[in-house]
Chain A
Amino acid sequence: MSRARSRIPLVRLAARNALRHTRRSALTAAAIAVAVMALVFFQSYIRGVVDDLLDTYARTESGHVRIRREGYAAREHFLPAHLNLRDVTELVSEVARDPEVRDVVPRIRAFVLVDGAASNRPGLVLGVDLAREAGYLRPAGMVAAGRLPAPDRAEALVGERFAEKLMVGVGDSLTLLSQTAYRSLGGLRVEVAGIARTGVSYLDASLVVLPLGQAQVLLDLEGGATELVVFAREPEGADSLAAALGARLGSRMGPLEIRSWREQGPLVHLTDLIGVMIGAVMLLLFGMASLVIVNTMLMTVLERKREYATQAALGMRRGDLVRQVVMEAAVIGLAGALAGAVAGSAVALWLERVGLDFTSASRTLELPFESIVHPDWRLGPALGMALAGMVVAGIAAVVPAWRVARQPPAEALRG
């Protein structure tokens, strides 16, 4: 029985049938092509956005694990400098001993009042070790004008829009006021060494990057930091790394708050929902394409009613009739899906190179989100979408095919 079935050249038959009514086949293929094209692009775009969000969030805020003084997270919106890590050298070495830790960098984060040329405004100070942050905060890549601050001088890198508001440029001086680690008021005069363009809207509008030593002077926190930002070898293992660091450090270093990036806010959890969102869009697009396929295939089977009846009368099994119709739709679907995948990939690859500029839209976003998005195209998911397009086309043809199979041959031949 299986040998008899294998003798029917279903694929060749399907391909030949697909070419009998090229305009109708093209319509079917186009429906799948549009759906696959949109999905290949959409998937690349969303992956680009999510990767951008997670990367920027980890680099500028959370790391994969962040270590702070116990109680800091509850008061985080004040950035309380008195909840700090004093003399971080030992803590940094201890954390770096964990084999899962790629790197650990101390940072100082504080709210400041910045007095510029014409006005004073609230800002955010990030005190960082400029050399060690080359691969993380990437200060060198931020410099839009001027240069990086010298590590041992009272110099600052100021966000581009913040500098505009303060009406200062390279070479001008700023006065920074902030609450110190001792909860009194501290101040520092700095020279603007450079203007920063981070691409992250809220940072460009508020950021003042200081060498770590200068931030320590501002906050009266010699040798200390407000946080240690830990980068894991495997970001997926951030939760277990946080637990391991908790066990490693215990209470020897004082009461600490060790949190993975998942525990620091809803952002990482939200990105987990992206897969669900892509699934929903996929269902919607393929659902719409399926309607077109069902319609065109119904027209096809109605037109070839007598032909199928003859095949049945000559002994073709119902199952083979169904497979023949489904295969025809799948062949058309494959052609459309490949065309859609190629077109979607071309658009995604082009935009991956040139980027999508959301600068004006992102000005109101308080998200760690670089305003130029580069879609992230990958071959596997693009081929997966093409395959899904072909399968959907085949599945959509089941209803018309079933109609063919249930039709009594004699009645069809008479009609």
Chain B
Amino acid sequence: MTDVTRRLSRSAAAASLVLLAPCAAVAQTPAELLRRVDANMTITTAHARAEMVIRYRGGDVRTLRYESWARGTDEAFLEFTAPARDAGSRFLRLGDAMWIFLPRVGKSVRIQGHMLRQGFMGSDFSYGDASENPSMVNDYDAVIERRDTVDGRPTMVLTLTARRANLSYPRRRTWVDVERWVPLREELFAGSGRLLKTVALSDVRRLGDRWYPFRMELDDALQTETTTTFRVLEMRLGVAVPPEVFTLRYLEGGR
């Protein structure tokens, strides 16, 4: 599974791995809904190839391809493979901490401070989005707002309010597919109520016993310059990933 997509999906309450729940015909309480979404995020291991397409207002399009490995929810490794200019740039996430390795620099650097607010490789997805790891059920209080339909799918609209102060998005509104337990749309708000980002997930495919969104569009409402689309090209779950992949030594030395 692509770590970027998965991190974004989770941080945007758009869970990218959703368990196919046979008894999911009825949405119980909001907390139960969130618990199902959170449960879908729990994987053992995953490997994915994906692409990130950044469209600029002026008409330019930048396409980056990457390969990622993940174990559980706290360990992920990602390497860009194209274009040549970005190939070899790697990222490692361990819990909430994130490091970058650029071949030209030859040294890993932890991403923190103002850098967390910057767009991941220039996209609408920030490094902060990638490193934050909230648990929907533990970190948010949810209220069911209404039922709705997204792309012909029945959804439940939930309003989420953060329980702790240091989350990037203190408020969210999420449209959860009540048959596949996949979030299909999300609006992310600041504490002031200002809309920060919108996320739309689509191309939901069955992957083993889960449903997974293979396409995600992201728009940062504070900058009108770009929109970003993530597209999963290939994904395998339950693959063998050597534990040394998730180390700084591996980040700096590569395979």
Chain A residues with CB under 8 Å of chain B are: 75, 111, 113, 115, 120-122, 175, 177, 179-180, 182-189, 220
Q: Which residues of B contact A180 (CB under 8 A)?
A: 85
B115 contacts A186, CB within 8 Å? no
Q: For the complex, what is the distance from the CA of A113 to the CA of B108, rounded to whole Å?
A: 13
Taking the closest CB of chain A, its distance from the CB of B208, in whole angstroms, is 34
7 closest A-B pairs by CB: A183-B122, A187-B105, A187-B102, A122-B114, A113-B115, A115-B109, A184-B86
B109 contacts A177, CB within 8 Å? yes
**Contacts A113-B115, A177-B105, A183-B62 supplied; 18 other A-B pairs, CB < 8 Å:** A111-B114, A113-B109, A113-B114, A120-B109, A122-B113, A122-B115, A175-B107, A177-B115, A180-B85, A183-B121, A184-B62, A185-B86, A185-B102, A186-B102, A187-B104, A189-B106, A189-B107, A220-B85
Contact of B121 among A111, A121, A175, A185 (CB under 8 A): A185
Taking the closest CB of chain A, its distance from the CB of B65, in whole angstroms, is 13
B198 interface contact, C-beta 8 A: no
Q: For the complex, what is the distance from the CA of A177 to the CA of B101, rounded to whole Å?
A: 10
Taking the closest CB of chain A, its distance from the CB of B90, in whole angstroms, is 11
Q: For the complex, what is the distance from the CA of A115 to the CA of B100, rounded to whole Å?
A: 12
Contact of A177 among B54, B86, B100 (CB under 8 A): B100
A182 contacts B85, CB within 8 Å? yes
Question: What 0/1 readout, one digit per residue, does chain B (76-106) give for beta carbons within 8 Å of chain A?
Answer: 0000000001100100000000001010111
B118 interface contact, C-beta 8 A: yes
B110 interface contact, C-beta 8 A: yes
A175 contacts B122, CB within 8 Å? no
Q: Which residues of A contact B100 (CB under 8 A)?
A: 177, 185
Q: For the complex, what is the distance from the CA of A175 to the CA of B54, rounded to whole Å?
A: 27
Contact of A120 among B62, B106, B110, B118 (CB under 8 A): B110
| Residues A186 and B104 in contact in the complex (CB < 8 Å), given A179-B118, A179-B122 | yes
B104 contacts A188, CB within 8 Å? yes
Taking the closest CB of chain A, its distance from the CB of B5, in whole angstroms, is 19
B112 interface contact, C-beta 8 A: yes
The 9 sampled A-B contact pairs (Cβ below 8 Å) are A113-B111, A113-B114, A115-B107, A115-B110, A122-B115, A184-B89, A185-B89, A189-B105, A189-B107
A183 contacts B109, CB within 8 Å? no
Q: For the complex, what is the distance from the CA of A364 to the CA of B109, rounded to whole Å?
A: 29
Q: For the complex, what is the distance from the CA of A179 to the CA of B127, rounded to whole Å?
A: 13
| Residues A113 and B122 in contact in the complex (CB < 8 Å), given A177-B102, A188-B105, A189-B106 | no
For A113, A121, A180, which residue has the most chain B Cβ atoms within 10 angstroms? Answer: A113
Q: Which residues of B contact A75 (CB under 8 A)?
A: 225
Q: Which residues of B contact A120 (CB under 8 A)?
A: 109-110, 112-113, 115
Question: What 0/1 readout, one digit per residue, does chain B (105-139) give for beta carbons within 8 Å of chain A?
Answer: 11101111111001001100000000000000000
How many pairs of residues, A versus B, come closer than 8 Å at their CB atoms?
Answer: 61
B113 contacts A175, CB within 8 Å? no
Q: Which residues of A contact B121 (CB under 8 A)?
A: 183-185
Taking the closest CB of chain A, its distance from the CB of B227, in whole angstroms, is 14
Chain A residue at minimal CB-CB distance from B58: A71
Q: Which residues of A contact B118 (CB under 8 A)?
A: 179
Chain A residue at minimal CB-CB distance from B114: A122
Q: For the complex, what is the distance from the CA of A113 to the CA of B114, rounded to whole Å?
A: 8
Q: For the complex, what is the distance from the CA of A177 to the CA of B111, rounded to whole Å?
A: 10
Contact of A175 among B85, B89, B105, B115 (CB under 8 A): B105
Chain B residue at minimal CB-CB distance from A177: B109
Q: Which residues of B contact A183 (CB under 8 A)?
A: 54, 62, 121-122
Q: Which residues of A contact B115 (CB under 8 A)?
A: 113, 120, 122, 177
Q: Which residues of B contact A187 (CB under 8 A)?
A: 102, 104-105, 109
Taking the closest CB of chain A, its distance from the CB of B83, in whole angstroms, is 8
Taking the closest CB of chain A, its distance from the CB of B81, in whole angstroms, is 13
Q: For the complex, what is the distance from the CA of A384 to the CA of B154, rounded to whole Å?
A: 83
Q: For the complex, what is the distance from the CA of A113 to the CA of B110, rounded to whole Å?
A: 10
B109 contacts A175, CB within 8 Å? yes
Q: Which residues of B contact A121 (CB under 8 A)?
A: 113
Q: Which residues of A contact B225 (CB under 8 A)?
A: 75
Q: Which residues of A contact B102 (CB under 8 A)?
A: 177, 185-187
Q: Which residues of B contact A189 (CB under 8 A)?
A: 105-107
Q: Which residues of A contact B112 (CB under 8 A)?
A: 120
Q: For the complex, what is the distance from the CA of A182 to the CA of B62, rounded to whole Å?
A: 9
Q: Which residues of A contact B106 (CB under 8 A)?
A: 189
Q: For the complex, what is the distance from the CA of A256 to the CA of B127, rounded to whole Å?
A: 32
Taking the closest CB of chain B, its distance from the CB of A72, in whole angstroms, is 13
Taking the closest CB of chain A, its distance from the CB of B112, in whole angstroms, is 6
Chain B residue at minimal CB-CB distance from A182: B85
Q: For the complex, what is the distance from the CA of A113 to the CA of B102, rounded to whole Å?
A: 13
Chain A residue at minimal CB-CB distance from B54: A183
Q: For the complex, what is the distance from the CA of A180 to the CA of B121, rounded to whole Å?
A: 10
Question: What 0/1 readout, one digit per residue, does chain B (136-150) give for beta carbons within 8 Å of chain A?
Answer: 000000000000000
Taking the closest CB of chain B, its distance from the CB of A406, in whole angstroms, is 70
For B62, B109, B111, B113, which residue has the most chain A Cβ atoms within 10 angstroms? Answer: B109
Chain A residue at minimal CB-CB distance from B57: A71
Q: Which residues of B contact A175 (CB under 8 A)?
A: 105, 107, 109
Taking the closest CB of chain B, its distance from the CB of A379, in whole angstroms, is 50
Chain A residue at minimal CB-CB distance from B110: A120
Taking the closest CB of chain A, its distance from the CB of B98, in whole angstroms, is 12
Taking the closest CB of chain B, its distance from the CB of A69, in whole angstroms, is 11
Q: For the complex, what is the distance from the CA of A122 to the CA of B114, rounded to whole Å?
A: 6
Q: For the complex, what is the distance from the CA of A182 to the CA of B63, rounded to whole Å?
A: 12
